[in-house]
């Protein structure tokens, strides 16, 4: 279930996601934006979810300019959204796009690395809310549509230090570590239906705004691009879930 840094990166045919609706969080920049663009390039209609309306508009324009299907752009602050907000969001997608076949969680809250003794309760709650509780609540709100899809997939994006914890990764690593447990429980609960399928992607180092925060002194020119890692997400979404 966990896709590590060494996961296969073979390409999918351009029409692999034709006719499917894929929601992507964190779609305004970095890996989320690249995943949304890759899904659109493979034929999907994408629902772009992010905090900044300006960044979502840029992602929207890039997809339309590249010839992709017109996306939906939905600004949401995952640190503040309630169950009611997530249900409204799901209803909006149902009304505007008619279905949802996949949900890809890329949004993440990150603050500079620090020893646990210097991390506050407020910082912990923000990490837990955006990186773990919001992915749960948004997925739960979208589950009826995802379960109805013959190709339902949910991908949570985790982090190397969630599986290999180390000093200073504190709240960020702890919040991400819950995602594999969440995916396992949900796969177990959906086993009889066989769908949606829940996955955890660990992208490994990727040249993105978050990487500049976590590794400020690093030369990022040799790191894989967000576009390269996006192919790995498309590979999962292209897998059939119908037995």
Ligand X SMILES: NC(=O)c1ccc[n+]([C@@H]2O[C@H](COP(=O)([O-])OP(=O)(O)OC[C@H]3O[C@@H](n4cnc5c(N)ncnc54)[C@H](OP(=O)(O)O)[C@@H]3O)[C@@H](O)[C@H]2O)c1
Query: Strands 102-105, 72-75: parallel, antiparallel or unpaired by DSSP?
Result: unpaired
Radius of gyration of the chain (CA): 17
Residue 106: which of 125, 134, 148, 70 has the closest Cα?
Answer: 134
Query: Distance between CA 38 and CA 229 in Å, rounded?
Result: 10
The nearest distance, CB 243 to ligand X, in angstroms, is 30
Q: 17 or 179: whose CB is closer to ligand X?
A: 179
Please report whether residue 2 would count as binding ligand X according to CB under 6 A.
Answer: no
Contacts of ligand X in 214-243 (CB under 6 A): none
**Interface pick for ligand X out of 208, 231, 232, 233 (rule CB under 6 A):** 208
**Interface pick for ligand X out of 17, 26, 173, 175 (rule CB under 6 A):** 26
Query: What region, left, alpha or beta, does residue 212 occupy, with left being phi > 0 and alpha being psi -120 to 50 degrees?
Result: alpha
Total residues contacting ligand X by CB under 6 A comes to 28
Please report whether residue 170 would count as binding ligand X according to CB under 6 A.
Answer: no
The nearest distance, CB 46 to ligand X, in angstroms, is 14
For the chain, how many helices (H) and strands (E)? 9, 7
Looking at 12-20, 23-31, 39-47, 135-143, which segment touches ligand X (CB under 6 A)?
23-31
Residue with the CB atom nearest ligand X in the bound state: 30
Q: Which long-range contacts (CB under 8 A, 24 or more apart) does 13-17 make?
A: 13/42, 14/41, 14/42, 14/43, 15/42, 15/43, 16/42, 16/43, 16/234, 16/237, 16/238, 17/42, 17/43, 17/44, 17/101, 17/234, 17/237, 17/238
The nearest distance, CB 226 to ligand X, in angstroms, is 6
Please report whether residue 107 would count as binding ligand X according to CB under 6 A.
Answer: yes
Query: Distance between CA 43 and CA 104 in Å, rounded?
Result: 16
Helix (H, G, I), strand (E, B) or coil at 119: coil
Hey, what are 220's tokens?
């990022």
Please report whether residue 203 would count as binding ligand X according to CB under 6 A.
Answer: yes
Contacts of ligand X in 38-57 (CB under 6 A): 50-52, 55
Looking at 10-18, 36-44, 107-115, 179-187, which segment touches ligand X (CB under 6 A)?
107-115
Query: Distance between CA 236 and CA 240 in Å, rounded?
Result: 9
Please report whether residue 4 would count as binding ligand X according to CB under 6 A.
Answer: no
Contacts of ligand X in 148-167 (CB under 6 A): 157, 159
The nearest distance, CB 224 to ligand X, in angstroms, is 9
Please report whether residue 199 would count as binding ligand X according to CB under 6 A.
Answer: no
Query: Distance between CA 89 and CA 100 in Å, rounded?
Result: 12
* Residues making contact with ligand X (CB under 6 A): 26, 28-32, 50-52, 55, 76-79, 106-109, 130, 157, 159, 203, 205-206, 208-211
């Amino acid at each position: 279930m966990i896709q590590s840094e060494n996961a296969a990166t073979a390409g999918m045919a351009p029409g692999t996601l034709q006719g499917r609706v894929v929601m992507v969080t964190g779609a305004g920049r970095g890996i989320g934006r690249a995943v949304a663009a890759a899904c659109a390039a493979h034929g999907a209609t994408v629902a772009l979810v992010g905090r900044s309306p300006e960044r979502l508009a840029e992602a929207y324009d890039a997809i339309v300019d590249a010839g992709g299907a017109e996306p939906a752009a939905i600004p949401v602050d995952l640190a503040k959204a309630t169950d009611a907000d997530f249900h409204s969001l799901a209803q909006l997608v149902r009304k505007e796009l008619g279905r949802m076949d996949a949900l890809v969680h890329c949004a993440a809250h990150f603050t500079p690395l620090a020893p646990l003794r210097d991390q506050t309760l407020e910082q912990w709650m923000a990490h837990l809310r955006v990186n773990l509780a919001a992915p749960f609540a948004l997925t739960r709100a979208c589950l009826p549509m995802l379960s109805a899809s013959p190709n339902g997939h949910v991908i949570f994006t985790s982090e190397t230090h969630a599986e290999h914890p180390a000093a200073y990764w504190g709240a960020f690593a702890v919040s991400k570590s819950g995602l594999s447990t969440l995916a396992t429980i949900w796969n177990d609960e959906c086993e009889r239906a066989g769908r949606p399928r829940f996955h955890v992607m660990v992208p490994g180092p990727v040249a993105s705004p978050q990487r500049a925060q976590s590794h400020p002194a690093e030369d990022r020119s040799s790191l894989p691009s967000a576009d390269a890692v996006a192919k790995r997400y498309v590979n999962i979404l292209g897998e059939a879930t119908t037995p």
